[in-house]
Amino acid sequence: MVFRLWLGVLVAALAVPAQAQGLVTSVRGAEHRPATAAKAVPAPRMRLAGAAMAHRVALEAPTSAEREKLIALNRASGPAFAAPGRPQYVGFGREISVAKRSVDASSLTWTTLADGVRVARIEVASPGAASLRVAVRMAATHPDVAVRFAAPSASEAAISVTADAIAQATGRFGEYWSPVIEGERAAIEVEAGAGATLAGVALDIARVSHMVVSARMSKQDAAKRLVDIGDAGACNFDVKCVEPQDSVTLNQAAATGKLVFTVPSGGTALCTGTMINDNPPSSAPYLFSASHCFDNAYSAFTLNVWWFFEAQACGSGTVGNYVQQAGGAMLIGRSQDWDWALLRLNTAPPGGVWRSGWTTAALAADTVVEIFHHPQGDLMKWSQGTTFAAVPVNFGSAAGGAGLFTRVVWFDGTTEGGSSGGALTTYDGVELKVRGGLVGGDALCSNPNGSDYFSQFGSMVPLVREYLTPDSQTPGQVVSVEYYHANLDHFFMTIDPPEIAALDSGQIAGWERTGLRFLAYTSPGAGRNPVCRFYRKPEFGDSHFFTADPAECARVAVDYATDWFFESPAIYYVALPNATTGACPAGTKPVYRFLNVSEINHRYTTEQALAFALSATPGWIAEGYGPGPLYPVMCAPVGA
């Protein structure tokens, strides 16, 4: 057993800085409750009991070159202290040959059931996999066609999804990833209603993510399979061993999820996330994690969450009753510099999940802190340590970002790969509140005096108040949201709610959130300039351009009137940097502008790490003021 210390309570309480009057800066936790009391719905069931008539797609055993992919993914991720950008990879992508990929509905063996429904079965195998994900694609569908995924011997399906949903995912991301299926084989059932027309309907089995661990694998077996990437160290404490096992411990454990997601390469990775509450409380399932885990909409959309993934009892290596939630998430926002990410789950979490409280107060040094996490994807662990002053950290990047991170040294437990994104919490006398998320560090069982670094929750809240505190937003400020169109290789930003809704819903097809965002002013004022917006007509390139420089705005309107349409003289307001020094006024931060010369498309960002990366990328040209190395073009409010 290990005991929680409360030494940091008074220090944490005294650390609250002056806050903007009227803004919500602290929220209590609460049990998650759905918008309406839903009736119990039985799990979707597989309709065909046997596999004799299944269409089989079997890969050969992975080659050494394929297995090297996993080692390479984790080698590219590097040790935790070289982070951020270091989720723990436990799976690698395997392509299905073109000859085996397309499965036409007419080629399947269909069984007509008593209710008139027709069902066909496909089995996909990747020898030696401890668990699998299967990427499928559909184009032409019928609204009365559904697809279910499960292990071949399972009677209950991991998920049932409409063919239309798979087709929509195919249009957005190129494919739809199944939930994680235990074992080296996955069963896919295709169900067609009695009146469904199957002509032209095809299911492409595009590829698999071959995972080397599974949820129910023994720790000994997992250790053998993870020999190249490590497993949870012996100094970690099972959450079931924390004393006392009271509501404080149980609630925070119930807010903590093991996150499993797949990246565009087909690699599958692990992080940790925490459900957080909003004010006023809603039914929206917001999940807090790290930007280095979710730096694109694709990865968020593939998310599976394991809730209650804990040991049955202290000292037991056996997993208790956990719930695997599929359905993915929407990437609401993130910061590369500060390494936070906010997601909204696409489906409701199971009953019993807790929504953790949080505070924007800065953490003082010598505060006792805790983290609930899943190192190496293991059963939930708990660590306890002490804070030091917030510091800038160069995580191996060319110049680092603008963020400040809370340094922590552990005296109980540690963190490892897979712990990334786990919430740093402090006890306020009633509950544990989230203060930040794990970025990286060199703390390990073999390095007990090493340090870990955490983002600051207060750096996120000003940019996501419309979600977490919708009734408490900074007056006169608005958020500019960035989108990316992969086929066009274009970036776009907007503050307009109808435009945002159209982009998020797919009404304007092809655009996905990057997660990056910055603040702007809604009205004129001293030292503020209007930002004008131009649209480049499709026949000339189909792009947008924004500028806060009155002379530049006038010049574009006159000199480029043929191909650039003047959409608005003032979409919002910002300050301008000093033309000579590039310095921004107090209370603002630089906005950098880069031109993609091959597309005549601009990107605007406040992220310093991204700005340095674009500066070093051929084909991107920095535009702005000052002597460099970065050249601000606008100045955005910092927010509160």
Q: Is 300 in contact with 171 (CB distance < 8 Å)?
A: no
Q: How confident is the model at residue 578 (pLDDT cuts 50, 70, 90)?
A: very high
The conformational region for residue 114 under phi > 0 = left, psi -120 to 50 = alpha, else beta, is: alpha
The pTM of the full predicted model, rounded to 2 decimals, is 0.94
The candidate with the shortest Cα–Cα distance to 380, out of 317, 426, 434, is 317
Predicted local confidence at residue 44, as pLDDT = 85
Strands 381-387 and 368-373: antiparallel
Select from 405, 397, 604 the least CA-distant residue to 490: 604
d(CA 415, CA 438): 9
Q: What is the pLDDT of residues 314-365, one digit of tens each?
A: 988 788 899 999 999 999 999 999 999 999 999 999 999 999 999 999 999 9
pLDDT of residue 77: 55
pLDDT in tens, 500-533: 999 999 999 999 999 999 999 999 999 999 999 9
The pLDDT value recorded for residue 38 is 52
pLDDT digits (tens, 9 = 90+) for 61-94: 999 999 998 988 887 654 443 345 578 999 999 9
What percentage of the chain reaches a pLDDT higher than 90?
Answer: 76
| Contact between 342 and 293 (Cβ < 8 Å) | no
Q: What is the pLDDT of residues 126-163, one digit of tens each?
A: 999 999 999 999 998 889 999 999 999 887 777 899 99
Which residue bears the tokens 């037991």? 316
* pLDDT score, position 395: 59
**Range of lowest pLDDT (34-38, 109-113, 555-559):** 34-38
Assign 391 a pLDDT band (cuts: 50, 70, 90): confident
- At residue 49, the pLDDT reads 74
Question: Quick one: average pLDDT of 604-619?
Answer: 95
Say which range, 56-60, 223-227, 245-249, has the weakest mean pLDDT. Answer: 223-227
In the predicted structure, residue 7 carries a pLDDT above the cut 90: no
What are the E-state strand segments in 96-144? 102-104, 111-112, 118-125, 131-137
How much is the mean pLDDT over the chain? 90
One-letter identity of residue 623? E
Least reliable range by pLDDT among 169-178, 368-377, 386-395, 448-457: 386-395
Q: What is the mean pLDDT of residues 571-575?
A: 98
- Percent of the residues in the chain that have a pLDDT greater than 70, as a whole number: 90
Q: How far apart are CA 436 and CA 421, in angstroms?
A: 9
The full length of the chain comes to 640
Confidence check: pLDDT of 407 > 90: yes
- Taking the C-alpha atoms of residue 92 and residue 70, their distance in angstroms, rounded to an integer, is 5
DSSP state of 180: P
Under the banding of pLDDT at 50, 70 and 90, the label for residue 45 is confident
Q: How confident is the model at residue 43 (pLDDT cuts 50, 70, 90)?
A: confident
How buried is 210 (Cβ within 10 angstroms: 0-12 exposed, 13-18 middle, 19+ buried)?
A: buried
Which of 461, 259, 468 is closest to 349 using CA atoms?
A: 259
The DSSP 8-state label assigned to residue 45 in this structure reads: B
Tell me what pLDDT residue 563 has.
94
